[in-house]
Homo-oligomer: A and B are copies of this chain.
């Protein structure tokens, strides 16, 4: 039954996906005498963790009960007190945790604290599944940079645009809706200045209710953005930030007056140091980034090995021509092809979505 209740806890965590960052979206289930007496999932940042939600719901009934939780309970003071204290005080008899929390402030110390208090505490259930579920958070903790999702819309023959540059629309409304779901799930949507200029892109979440808006980050090395563009005009409503390396002081001030955040990072000519871009976002505790980059900037991210997950939408057309995706990311020989694992395939009406994880 441990596996069954852990599955429930994992599923419960999904309710908080995209809604509690920078905390991971964790789920908890409390079971007493073979009955589920409470469930919980992580609340918005600053609110209760999953365990606390469940413990509060269970009340006195949690004495002697078993707590299932997808991630090791925390044992440190953050925005909220340690969950381990609450678990001990509630009289929980046994704790079953999915995986250990890689946060150096926890990292096994949560389990140790529970055991020290006489609670039977196990971990290591559905590890592969939970590691995938919490991939953003785990990358953020383990790799000290945000998890990067590269998204591209291609024709069936792999073109991101027709040869004259036109690309509206390669994909159908169902695919575009899926892109908005992705935007709502991540902390950051990132694009280059060229894409933003070309399409006057907003990059916000539209058409979905009850979602948070991501931070929109534009890589604009020479600060060429048009202050009249839709993205800047919406900066007071939806957060937006520009990263640049060289800029005119007046332009910086006028953009800031319009509500834009500005951040200088290293770079040269029309390129920024992408590792520093990621470091900057990590410092801001932003743990997932959706790349909505055009082909050229996409190639730079692939060359820098800064893609953790790849999401390609295929439209239902043949385009021909030379606007071929990732041309400059040339693997030369089939034996040097960049392989992807964990492939999933989904039909979106007359489009397809293929996802996978590059094996670097």
Which residues of A are interface residues toward B (Cβ below 8 A)?
Answer: 154-159, 161-164, 166-170, 302, 310, 312, 314-322, 324-341, 343-347, 350-352, 354, 356, 358
Contact B337 A318 (CB under 8 A): yes
CB-CB under 8 A for A343 and B333, given A158-B157, A326-B157 = no
- Tell me the smallest distance from the CB of A172 to a CB of chain B, in Å: 10
What residues of B have a CB within 8 angstroms of the CB of A345 in the complex? 345-347, 352
Given contacts A167-B334, A345-B347, 8 further A-B contacts (CB under 8 A): A157-B158, A158-B159, A162-B333, A163-B331, A166-B334, A302-B318, A314-B354, A321-B331
Contact B159 A324 (CB under 8 A): yes
* A326 to B352 Cα, complex, angstroms: 20
What residues of B have a CB within 8 angstroms of the CB of A319 in the complex? 331, 334, 337-338
CB-CB under 8 A for A316 and B341, given A326-B157, A356-B156 = yes
Q: Determine which of B162, B329, B346, B356 lies in contact with A334 in the assembled complex, contact meaning CB atoms within 8 Å.
A: B162
CB-CB under 8 A for A168 and B320, given A350-B341, A350-B343 = no
Q: What are 19 sample pairs from A and B whose C-beta atoms fall under 8 A apart?
A: A155-B158, A158-B159, A158-B324, A158-B325, A161-B334, A162-B331, A162-B336, A166-B334, A168-B334, A302-B320, A310-B318, A315-B337, A316-B339, A317-B338, A317-B339, A319-B338, A321-B332, A343-B350, A345-B345
What residues of B have a CB within 8 angstroms of the CB of A161 in the complex? 334
Contact B324 A330 (CB under 8 A): no
Chain B residue with the shortest CB-CB distance to A166: B334
Q: Determine which of B163, B170, B302 lies in contact with A330 in the assembled complex, contact meaning CB atoms within 8 Å.
A: B163
- Tell me the smallest distance from the CB of A296 to a CB of chain B, in Å: 13
What residues of B have a CB within 8 angstroms of the CB of A166 in the complex? 333-335
- Tell me the smallest distance from the CB of A213 to a CB of chain B, in Å: 29
* A356 to B343 Cα, complex, angstroms: 21
* A155 to B314 Cα, complex, angstroms: 13
* A169 to B157 Cα, complex, angstroms: 18
* A340 to B343 Cα, complex, angstroms: 24
What residues of B have a CB within 8 angstroms of the CB of A320 in the complex? 302, 326-331
Give the most central of A158, A330, A340, A341: most B CB within 10 Å: A158
* A335 to B166 Cα, complex, angstroms: 8
* A328 to B319 Cα, complex, angstroms: 10
Contact A327 B338 (CB under 8 A): no
